[in-house]
Amino acid sequence: MRYFSTSFIFMLLCLTNTNAAVFQDEVRYYDVEILLFENIKPDPAITETWPSSLEFEVPENSLFIGSPYPGPIPAEYNPRFTFKPIKASTYQLQEEAKKLTEHEDYRVLYHRSWRQPGMKKDKAISVRIQKEVPRLAVFNEKDNATLTAEQSEYNKMINERLPKINNLQGLVKITLSRYLHIQTNIQYTRYVVEDDPENPEAAFAKIKPQVYQLKQTRKMRSKELHYLDNPRLGLLVYITPVPSSK
């Protein structure tokens, strides 16, 4: 199911060319780029409920991009090509990020690219994501212009009480068999208020976290833009084979 604007996402997907991944027995290296964004105005008709907390297990064979490999690097892997960050100036999805940033309904939460070997499922390393995301104002000045003084003051109090930071954490794992596969477990925690204008203090008592989880597994092709989503989050993934001469 797709929860974001179909025409807008189709435009993003059409910005890149397609080409099938070719599997070979020797170690292949890939540049992986992920672009995670938030749907600021999800469809109100979608009534999916979200938990206030979820367990998040960090496997031993995981790392942050740029941090040391978890244990000795296998002899068959080139250390220069093993989970090394790629310069932002060379990102493939810069145009997609620009369009998302300029669109009032979306916000880019995380954009990163790295180089890694194609790894079999039993040896694959998960890339960790962890970031504090500033909370957007629940009500802005435009909203307040149409409200009474009491309602505006109530909205101001809610903004002051809500936590200023949303939390983003996740795992992204790329594996290679005959095809590339991606496995994601991304959790985005936002704080919401169950509004009760007749009883503001009760509303404050109902401020609670909601955890939006993007947990999917998908077969992929290199040099083809892929898209995963839930009602709140969208993830663009683009994987490029590294020429053997590099």
Distances (CA, A) of 53 to 93, 149, 212: 32, 35, 9
Q: Is 12 exposed, middle or buried (0-12, 13-18, 19+ CB in 10 A)?
A: buried
The answer to whether residue 3 scores a pLDDT higher than 80 is: no
For residue 206, give the amino acid letter.
K
The answer to whether residue 183 scores a pLDDT higher than 80 is: yes
pLDDT average, residue stretch 61-77: 94
188 forms beta bridges with 168, 212
d(CA 207, CA 225): 38
What pLDDT was estimated at residue 152? Answer: 79
2 forms beta bridges with none
Alpha helices in the chain (DSSP H): 6-13, 94-102, 141-144, 149-161, 200-205
Which residues fall within 8 angstroms of residue 80, CB to CB, at 6 or more apart?
none
Per-domain residue ranges of the chain: 6-241
Do residues 147 and 123 lie in contact, with contact meaning Cβ atoms separated by under 8 Å? no
What pLDDT was estimated at residue 244? Answer: 79
Condensed to tens digits (0 to 9), the pLDDT of residues 149-169 reads: 887 787 788 888 889 999 999
Condensed to tens digits (0 to 9), the pLDDT of residues 205-233 reads: 678 899 999 999 999 999 999 999 999 99
Torsion of CA 241, 87, 93, 133, to 10 degrees: 130
Give the global pTM: 0.85
Taking all residues of the chain, what is their mean pLDDT, rounded to a whole number?
87
More confident residue, 66 or 149: 66
Q: Which of 30-39, 115-124, 199-208 has the lowest mean pLDDT?
A: 199-208
Do residues 31 and 127 lie in contact, with contact meaning Cβ atoms separated by under 8 Å? no
pLDDT average, residue stretch 77-82: 93
Q: Which residue has the tokens 């109530």?
A: 154
Q: How many CB atoms lie within 10 A of CB 188?
A: 25
